[in-house]
């Protein structure tokens, strides 16, 4: 089992829809990455039985969690508790790369 990763080796691009990849899936955690090109977005959605976080690796975007909206740059952490609607749009000029954790992971 590989326990060591570097996010820069897992960046990807997808034109039709933002890019998603899974780094690791365990009993209690799914850790992955989302990469959004400028203008791409993740529509608001909620996870019924799972907490989620995003960590902004590069770029910037406008995140919505419930009624809160915040522009977040690299180094920012966004929490989406279970059942709370959340989404993001890349409002910047660069790729927006996110480390994403969903707990427990969606199987």
Q: Where along the sequence are the contacts to its own copies (CB under 8 A)?
A: 1-8, 23-24, 26-29, 31, 49-53, 55, 57, 63, 65-66, 68, 70, 72, 75-82, 84, 99, 101, 103-104
Q: Are 25 and 47 in contact (CB under 8 A)?
A: no
Q: For its own copies, give the closer residue by CB, 23 or 38.
A: 23
Q: For its own copies, give the closer residue by CB, 8 or 15.
A: 8
CA distance 101 to 107: 13
Nearest approach, Cβ of residue 15 and its own copies (Å): 26
What are the structure tokens assigned to 57, written together? Answer: 């690796």
What are the structure tokens assigned to 87, written together? Answer: 């989404």
For 32, the 3-state DSSP assignment is strand
Nearest approach, Cβ of residue 3 and its own copies (Å): 4
Q: Are 44 and 103 in contact (CB under 8 A)?
A: no
Q: For its own copies, give the closer residue by CB, 36 or 80.
A: 80
Q: For its own copies, give the closer residue by CB, 25 or 41.
A: 25
Nearest approach, Cβ of residue 4 and its own copies (Å): 5
Q: Are 63 and 19 in contact (CB under 8 A)?
A: no
């Amino acid at each position: 089992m590989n326990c060591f990763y570097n996010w820069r080796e897992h960046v990807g691009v997808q034109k039709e829809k933002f890019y998603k990849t899974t780094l690791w899936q365990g009993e209690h955690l799914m850790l992955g990455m989302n990469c959004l090109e400028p203008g791409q977005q993740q529509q608001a959605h909620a996870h019924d039985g799972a907490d989620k976080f995003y960590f902004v690796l590069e770029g910037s975007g406008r995140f919505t969690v419930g009624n809160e909206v915040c522009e977040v740059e690299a180094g920012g952490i966004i929490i989406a508790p279970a059942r709370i609607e959340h989404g993001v749009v890349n409002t910047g000029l660069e790729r927006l790369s996110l480390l994403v954790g969903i707990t427990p992971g969606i199987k």
